[in-house]
A and B are shown apart, each in its own frame.
Chain A
Amino acid sequence: MAAESHGPMHQFEIQRWIPLDIGGVDISYTNSALFMTLAVLATLTLFWVATRHRTMVPSRWQSVAEIMYEFVGGMVKDNVGLAGMRYFPFIFTLFMFILFGNFLGLLPYSFTFTSHIVVNAVLAMFIFIAVTVIGFARHGMHYFSLFCPPGTPLPVAFILVPIEVMSYFIRPVSLSLRLFANMLAGHVLLKVLAGFIISLGLVFGIIPFAAVFAVTLLEIMVAAIQAYVFALLTCIYLNDAINLH
């Protein structure tokens, strides 16, 4: 099934468009890299157009940029507090990158780079390492008290500490897997349903077509929600590191 060239998994194949090999490391320009470039360019264009003519009463494009800015800014302020506003540019960039990655992937014949776990894993590992470094830089050895909240009775601590340590180290895995599995499952579902349209023909094909329409709407919602959840969880991990308990 997977070997079939137009199966549901075909859309996730990586194609080397400009093969590059430096010192045995394959850094070819792939379709995944192309869509990452497109996501960055789309974000840049949106904010360049939106903030070109700044006015006190925002124009339509300017209010799009302002709504996004205030949405993410409010999320950081609510979840991390004012101390977290230092990291707002990073979280905003992360949110826009994933949002445009998810949205561009929904276009027909395009490629979803967030449906590859390696992309998400790099993002999640970066967040995990950064949060750990920030935590140790702000609290020193006291950061270990994250694993054992003060006032825990000793018998409970024997169970609590391993669980807390495990849940701390599982963070990058669950953060990257969530986005990956959501994107993968949604796109496979769309392709499988689209296959039914062809096999059912012109008359009965209308039923799976309606389903594809509904699932596409659902996927647009999921794309936005997953970008939001990724940024929200980053905020919550940052909150643990900055305001210990």
Chain B
Amino acid sequence: METEAAKMIGAGLAAIGVIGGGVGVGTVWGSYMNAVARNPSMEDKLRTPAFLGFALSEATSLFALVIALIILFT
């Protein structure tokens, strides 16, 4: 039973990494909003890099989530 409890604690600790992804994704979209507010004509041009940055920074947090799930379900 103690290993089961340790597993739960470990999965919870592994999920802390998602915080970084949240900060990263927030920064990406926040900067996008800032940039579009300053120069609305750039909206279409900036959308692709914004989605790219979102995807890349989100991936790092998802790695943490996958590790948590692996700990939980194996």
Whether the pair B51, A178 counts as a contact (CB closer than 8 A) is no
Given contacts A177-B62, A178-B58, contact A232 B51 (CB under 8 A): yes
Whether the pair A232, B58 counts as a contact (CB closer than 8 A) is no
Give bound CA distance, A79 to B48, whole Å. Answer: 9
A interface residue count range (under 10 / 10 to 19 / 20 to 34 / 35 or more): 20 to 34
Interface flag for B55 (CB, 8 Å): yes
A-B contacts, 21 of them at CB < 8 A, read A1-B73, A9-B73, A177-B59, A177-B66, A178-B55, A178-B58, A178-B62, A180-B66, A181-B62, A181-B65, A181-B66, A182-B58, A184-B69, A185-B65, A225-B51, A228-B51, A229-B54, A232-B48, A232-B52, A232-B55, A233-B55
- B residues with a Cβ closer than 8 A to A are 48, 51-52, 54-55, 58-59, 62-63, 65-66, 69, 72-73
Interface flag for A159 (CB, 8 Å): no
Whether the pair B52, A182 counts as a contact (CB closer than 8 A) is no
Given contacts A9-B73, A184-B69, contact A174 B48 (CB under 8 A): no
Within 8 A of B (CB), among A180-195: 180-182, 184-185
For the A-B complex, the count of residue pairs with Cβ-Cβ distances under 8 Å equals: 39
Interface flag for A198 (CB, 8 Å): no
Main SS class of interface, A: helix
B32 to chain A, nearest CB (A): 14
Given contacts A2-B73, A79-B48, contact A229 B55 (CB under 8 A): yes
Give bound CA distance, A2 to B62, whole Å. Answer: 20
Whether the pair A78, B59 counts as a contact (CB closer than 8 A) is no
Whether the pair B52, A236 counts as a contact (CB closer than 8 A) is yes
B interface footprint on A63-82 (CB within 8 Å = 1, 0 otherwise): 00000000000010011000
Give bound CA distance, A175 to B55, whole Å. Answer: 10
Give bound CA distance, A181 to B63, whole Å. Answer: 8
Give bound CA distance, A177 to B56, whole Å. Answer: 11
Give bound CA distance, A75 to B47, whole Å. Answer: 11
User: Which residue in chain B gives the minimum CB-CB distance to A178?
Assistant: B59
Q: Known pairs A2-B73, A225-B51. 13 more at Cβ < 8 A?
A: A75-B48, A177-B66, A178-B55, A181-B62, A181-B63, A181-B65, A184-B69, A185-B65, A229-B51, A229-B52, A229-B54, A232-B48, A232-B55
Whether the pair A185, B51 counts as a contact (CB closer than 8 A) is no
Measured between beta carbons, the chain B residues less than 8 angstroms from A174 are: 59
